Amino acid sequence: MLADRLARYCRSLRYGDLPNTVVHEVKRRVLDSLGCALGAWNAPPCRVARLIAQTAKVPQGATLWGTSHKTLPDLATFANGGLVRYLDFNDTYLSKEPAHPSDNIPAILAVGESVHASGKRIMEAIVLAYEIQCRLCDASALRPRGWDHVTYGPFSSALGAAKLLKLSNEQTVQAINLAGIANMALRQTRVGDLSMWKACAFSNAARNGVFAARLAQLGMTGPSPIFEGEKGFMKLVSGPLELAPFAAERGQAPALGENQSPQFKIVDTYIKHYPVEYHAQTAVEAALALRDAAMEAEGARAIDHVADVEIGSYDVAIEIIGRDPEKWQPATRETADHSFPYCVAVALLHGPVTLQSFGPKRLRDPAVRNLMKKVRVVQQAEFVGRYPKTMPTRITVKTDAGKTYMGQVDVPVGHPGNPMSDRDLEAKFRRLANGRLDRSRIDRLVEFVWSLDRVGDISTLMPLLYVKGGS
């Protein structure tokens, strides 16, 4: 049974199994996630989630980031997870089902704080959660069946929590059963005009995963077999799940050859250079290169005289960010950062896409709105089969004067094939944290994360995240 296999892997994975490259990637994902969280501190859905979590006070619980308030670990997971996700700036994994595996990190830090876990134990749990979620995404696409990608989240977060809670094998199986029975999320979250819930969809899934692990710890059992049962997950939600061997999985035949084992999935995840849905990363890069070329040839006002914009892309990207009518008339930040037309138009008109590109003023900008009307999204036959190894986007712009400019990017900055440097990642973190924390605390926080493997108790992280005015 799959639940038994997942439980065995959860209990067997050790920090000593992690290569130095994997340890370093964990630190990079933690730094990136904390930066995204600080950048989203005042976002409306994050404020709502924080208010809900503050209704429960648990002195030995988990901290709401940016405050000194401690609450239940599952409520902290919900509030802190919304912070990480809101800006659409945290990492991504693209496979049969796309995902944002760093969404698991708030759950792991919340549970880890409640049990005073060391940095190494935190890193074990993070790597485990990435393995589970990404392998599930490799096994089956949920999107065509009407389910959201966060449906895999209760499993990955429950297992990360189970690892930190040191659950027995039987308790871990029950945590998986409980995580899977009642936490299916509808794909409507990401269809049409997107709502605040986009920021909270995974944090809710992770909250339920943490809750499942804590229930199992106290003896609660769940329906079994959760995956293979007559009315189980495979029959009703995912279809057959044939998971490839996990990295460092005991008792499994090597997947790549006699003396080779699968690499840890965390190294295959992508860090974002721009705060847009990941399929738009190459589109933004291509639009910026094209903008520079047009302005060099025709002057600063070249983009003001655009007659037509064609975005050439591939099926998955078009389905997610280039199909719904709402993508041409985004009313919310959530819809705009999931819109090919908006992301390309704002890049062409205003240059590098930043958090300010999605503010109310820019969303209502008549020039952006007018340019979006000239945008067409077209599937390119030559791009078929290239995703997810590459993510090609071709932008073609025709001006009123009859000139044509084209830009194409296949692999964005932050992709495993074009990784973001530590220096650039740290700069991203500092930009996001600036204004929330003073420079001294930013420096200390950066140093803390790069030394995570030497941290004795993860709870010592929380005071470094305190935002002035946080309660």
Report how far residue 150's alpha carbon sits from residue 6's, in angstroms, rounded to the nearest whole number.
18
Tokens of 294: 């047009």
User: Looking at the domain assignment, is residue 90 inside a domain?
Assistant: yes
Q: What is the mean pLDDT of each run of 10 residues along the chain (471 residues)?
A: 97 97 98 98 97 97 97 98 97 94 98 98 98 98 96 98 98 98 95 92 98 98 98 97 94 52 93 95 96 84 87 93 94 93 96 94 94 96 90 94 92 94 98 96 98 98 92 70
User: Looking at the domain assignment, is residue 425 inside a domain?
Assistant: no
Among residues 409, 438, 461, which one ends one of the domains?
A: 409
Predicted pLDDT at 257: 45
Among residues 362, 393, 409, which one ends one of the domains?
A: 409
Closest CA to 355 of 274, 256, 266: 274
Q: Count of alpha carbons within 13 Å of 234, Cβ hemisphere only?
A: 16
User: Looking at the domain assignment, is residue 455 inside a domain?
Assistant: no
Report how far residue 355's alpha carbon sits from residue 205's, in angstroms, rounded to the nearest whole number.
26
Compute the Cα dihedral for 362, 363, 368, 369 and give only its sign.
negative
What 67-75 contacts at long range (C-beta under 8 Å, 24+ apart), as own/partner pairs, is 67/466, 67/467, 67/470, 67/471, 68/463, 68/466, 68/470, 68/471, 69/471, 73/107, 73/110, 73/111, 73/113, 73/114, 73/161, 73/210, 73/214, 74/110, 74/207, 74/208, 74/210, 74/211, 74/214, 75/207
**Quick one: 246 and 300 in the same domain?**
no
Q: Which residue range is the domain that position 388 belongs to?
A: 278-409
User: Looking at the domain assignment, is residue 449 inside a domain?
Assistant: no
User: Looking at the domain assignment, is residue 82 inside a domain?
Assistant: yes
- Contact between residue 76 and residue 63 where contact means Cβ atoms under 8 Å apart: yes
CATH code of residue 347: 3.30.1330.120
Predicted pLDDT at 335: 93
Which residues, other chains included, contact 370 with Cβ-Cβ below 8 Å and sequence gap of 6+?
none
**Quick one: 260 and 285 in the same domain?**
no
Predicted pLDDT at 208: 98
Tokens of 272: 């974002």
Q: What is the mean pLDDT of the chain?
A: 94
Predicted pLDDT at 301: 77
**Quick one: 290 and 259 in the same domain?**
no
**Quick one: 232 and 304 in the same domain?**
no
**Quick one: 297 and 223 in the same domain?**
no
User: Looking at the domain assignment, is residue 100 inside a domain?
Assistant: yes
Predicted pLDDT at 258: 44
Predicted pLDDT at 252: 65
User: Looking at the domain assignment, is residue 400 inside a domain?
Assistant: yes
User: Looking at the domain assignment, is residue 228 inside a domain?
Assistant: yes
Tens of pLDDT, residues 211-229: 999 999 999 999 999 999 9
**Quick one: 251 and 289 in the same domain?**
no
Report how far residue 37's alpha carbon sits from residue 461's, in angstroms, rounded to the nearest whole number.
14
Predicted pLDDT at 1: 94
Q: What is the dihedral angle through the alpha carbons of 86, 186, 62, 15, rounded to the nearest 10 degrees? A: -90
Tens of pLDDT, residues 239-260: 999 999 999 998 764 444 444 5
**Quick one: 102 and 138 in the same domain?**
yes
**Quick one: 130 and 215 in the same domain?**
yes
19 preceded by cis ω (within 30°)? no
**Quick one: 283 and 231 in the same domain?**
no
Report how far residue 74's alpha carbon sits from residue 71's, in angstroms, rounded to the nearest whole number.
8
The domain tally of the chain equals 2
Q: With b meaning 16 or more CB within 10 Å and e meaning fewer, what string describes 416-454?
A: eeebbeeeebbebbbebbeebbeeebbeebbebbbebbe
Q: What is the largest CA-CA distance in the chain?
A: 73
Tokens of 235: 């029959």
**Quick one: 81 and 170 in the same domain?**
yes
Which residues, other chains included, contact 251 with Cβ-Cβ below 8 Å and sequence gap of 6+?
8
CATH code of residue 92: 1.10.4100.10
Among residues 368, 389, 409, which one ends one of the domains?
A: 409
245 preceded by cis ω (within 30°)? no
**Quick one: 216 and 329 in the same domain?**
no
Q: What is the dihedral angle through the alpha carbons of 132, 138, 139, 145, rounded to the nearest 10 degrees? A: 110
Report how far residue 327's alpha carbon sits from residue 345's, in angstroms, rounded to the nearest whole number.
12
Tokens of 11: 């209990």
The residue type found at 400 is D
**Quick one: 316 and 212 in the same domain?**
no
**Cα–Cα distances in angstroms (integers) from residue 212 to residues 90, 184, 395, in the given order:** 25, 14, 46
- Contact between residue 247 and residue 261 where contact means Cβ atoms under 8 Å apart: yes
